[in-house]
Structure 1
Amino acid sequence: MKRLLTLLFSCLLITLQAQEKAPPVKVAIIGLTHTHVHWILGRENRGDIEIVGIVEPNKDLAQRYTKQHGYSMDIVFDSMERLMENIQPEAVTAFGTIYNHLEIVEFFAPKGIHVMVEKPLAVSLDHAKKMSALAKKHNIHLLTNYETTWYGSNQKTYDLVHSEKLVGDIRKIVVHDGHRGPKEIGVNDEFLEWLTDPKLNGAGALTDFGCYGANLATWLMKGEKPTSVFAMTATNKPELYPNVDDEATILLQYPKTQVVIQASWNWPISRKDMEVYGVTGQIIADNGSTLRYKLGDDLEEVKLTNLSKETPRDDPFTLLAAVVRGEVALKDTDLTALENNLIVMEILEAAKQSAKSGKVVKLKK
């Protein structure tokens, strides 16, 4: 009897320990000039991460944002070096210029600190390759965050295509992303300054919104690279954007599939939507939570609403914490994964080359 009680107690203890919540992952924010930073500063406390430090040399900006979101200026530092003298984060999130992503990985990777950058992965393919080499050398996770990664409609589209085989083989994907323009929608000066700088942002709308379509296409095509890339860019509002494109159309050709990426700072309304056309039907994801599909001319269109993703894949920072803890292993094809985003950077680099030359750019296998 005593043995049985001891065994039962041991089982209960193991169960309680398993149910005990893991401590939050200590995260530092590097840069505040990307306004997507409000995503992490203003999120509800899920208990999965703890913001332990912020690096931002612009004190006025730091004071505005810490006051807005209820953080102390005591955790704000002028540099990454000063941060590390005072704080030991497990992971960092990059919310500054895309050009700075390489510098952030160069600094934190050798220290074994994981990195999540805001989309796209890097300002150029050269930077991306260096970042990848550092991540692999120092065995850190390097994730890229896109808003569309967390759309339930996009996940359902993927499942309908690949798990349920609803529309047959993919023949065409069309992705629309953008808005009226960063000046027109009133982004703050700190963001606008580098978003319209070809060195710091890599391009204009091509980088800002072209990356979404490249990322989604690479995911839907299960990591397959296109055979060729053709792109046209334009600056339709030179009085507002004299140094970068505000309009970009990118065509990706695969052996039996074509992808059309329309990235624009000229849409009359903000949009992030996607169309997938298969041999036997079509799926249109109108927004983050709604999609429509139709199978053949004579069948009724079906609409699905209130679509969402399950935790931890419903939020960038919840997923980051799960990856850091080893609870989730990313596949190379995943939307946040390094390998997917290296292909994205290859596509964007080819698109810039094509737009400049007016020629189709062939990609190496």
Structure 2
Amino acid sequence: MLSTRSRRWDDTERLSLGMLGVGNIGTVHLKSALTMDDVDVVAAADAVAANRDRAAEAGVDRTYDDYATLLESESLDAAVVALPPFLHADAVERAAENGVDVFVEKPLARSTEEADRMLEVADDAGIAVGVDHTLRYQPDMQGVRTAYEEGRVGHVPHASMTRLNDGPLGRPPATEEPPAWLLDPDAAGGGALIELGVHCFDVLEWLFGDLRVEAATLDRTLEIPVEDAATVLLRAPETGTSITLHCGSYQWEELPEVNTRLRLEGVTGTISNREYEPSNFYASAAAAAVSNVASRVTGDEPDVYGPTFYLQAHHAALADFCGAIREGESPPVDGAVGRRTLELVEHATELAAEDDRELAEPQEAEVST
């Protein structure tokens, strides 16, 4: 199959899409795609039978227990890679063998080295690679960027960002073990910094241009093999902005309504993403849920993205990718962007390790004579 970048669709053609992985985030992408008028979800693959059943119930005609078989058996234009990180490289390579463009869940890879191999394979095959960095698609983040670019607060000497998530064991009391790969640094590529930090690095460079990592600390609040908290000091040379970033996966009983905070301290005022959030986050989500229940009774198509803040962003990111593929263009958030966030993760991790080594080394006491 020729790469979709070698041609453009006409208005009557539909993009044939395959879903590789239909777990938590894969289901989000599946429901996004099912709402798109110019996309056909032709097949889904997942090793877990319950996930395949979920895809079939959502309206997917064919399901597979192996993504490689799906890629070999179906005629696809593009595929969503919603697999654990340790499978991303293999899935992209197999997609490349079949001329299928890919939209890859973040992180793109477990390391820049792995990302380089993936992007080389994709480039050789002429396939497009998009990455699901959805934070920039949230309306609150877009509101911050618009206000900043309009010069509402002038120069911004300092910015701060925090992103939190449920801990790896889920909300207490923890009753089920997480997937084994999630706590395996080799399989996941790391902990909170690669899981949550890549989103933040993407948004901050989207705002301020290239970032430089000045210092970093990693921490474990639980006895697990990966960090569940990270703090990074960054500098944006282009704008002269210093940035403090914290991301963590905590065992909170209830997360904040919106788990990401971004604040720009300008010389004439401040900009916060709080200004652009729904007035009542949970009420908006509840209204969408009630509407969807009613739609099942009436037979109408559920509006799964209604006013539900996060799902709108996932929908917009996938739609942007599919739109670029249809136009024969590179995805707006491409493999180079995904690789860049990994580069920042690695630099922060290296600096944190250097600081740990310095603290561990015995210090010679100075003696005055």
Give the letter for the 2:319 counterpart: T
Paired position in structure 1 for 2:86: 99
Instruction: Report the secondary structure of 1:244's partner residue.
Output: coil
Deviations 1:234-261 (Å, cap 9, x if unpaired)? 11121xxx21111111221233222222
Instruction: Report the secondary structure of 1:231's partner residue.
Output: strand
Q: Is 1:62 the equivalent of 2:52?
A: yes
Query: Post-superposition shift, 1:288?
Result: 6.7
In the alignment of these two chains, the number of paired residues is 312
Query: Post-superposition shift, 1:166?
Result: 1.7
Q: Is 1:244 the equivalent of 2:226?
A: yes
Q: Is 1:218 the equivalent of 2:219?
A: no
Unaligned runs of at least 5 residues, structure 1 = 1-19, 292-305, 361-365
> Within 5 Å, which residues of 2 pair with 1:10-29?
21-29=11-19
2:269 to 268, 272, 281: 281
Contact residue 169 and residue 176 of structure 2 kept, 8 A = no
Instruction: Report the TM-score, using the length of structure 2 for normalisation.
Output: 0.75
Give the letter for the 2:151 counterpart: K
Paired position in structure 1 for 2:317: 316
Instruction: Report the secondary structure of 1:184's partner residue.
Output: coil
Over 3 Å counting, the alpha-carbon distance change for 1:45 and 1:243 in structure 2 is same
Q: Where does structure 1 differ by over 4 angstroms across 4 or more consecutive aligned residues?
A: 186-191, 306-309, 311-314, 327-330
Over 3 Å counting, the alpha-carbon distance change for 1:112 and 1:172 in structure 2 is farther
Distance in 2 between the 1:42 and 1:307 partners? 13
Over 3 Å counting, the alpha-carbon distance change for 1:344 and 1:111 in structure 2 is same
Over 3 Å counting, the alpha-carbon distance change for 1:71 and 1:328 in structure 2 is same
> Within 5 Å, which residues of 2 pair with 1:157-172?
157-162=144-149, 164-172=150-158
Contact residue 178 and residue 267 of structure 1 kept, 8 A = no
Give the letter for the 2:55 counterpart: T
Contact residue 49 and residue 318 of structure 1 kept, 8 A = no
Instruction: Report the secondary structure of 1:233's partner residue.
Output: strand
Unaligned runs of at least 5 residues, structure 2 = 1-9, 280-306, 358-369
2:29 to 30, 40, 43: 40
Contact residue 22 and residue 30 of structure 2 kept, 8 A = no
Instruction: Report the secondary structure of 1:178's partner residue.
Output: strand
Q: Is 1:350 the equivalent of 2:347?
A: yes
Q: Is 1:50 the equivalent of 2:40?
A: yes
Instruction: Report the secondary structure of 1:218's partner residue.
Output: helix
- Give the RMSD, CA atoms, in angstroms: 3.1
Query: Post-superposition shift, 1:134?
Result: 2.4
Instruction: Report the TM-score, using the length of structure 1 for normalisation.
Output: 0.76
Instruction: Report the secondary structure of 1:54's partner residue.
Output: strand
Over 3 Å counting, the alpha-carbon distance change for 1:190 and 1:47 in structure 2 is farther
Over 3 Å counting, the alpha-carbon distance change for 1:81 and 1:327 in structure 2 is closer
Report the identity percentage: 20
Over 3 Å counting, the alpha-carbon distance change for 1:225 and 1:321 in structure 2 is same
2:215 to 222, 230, 239: 230
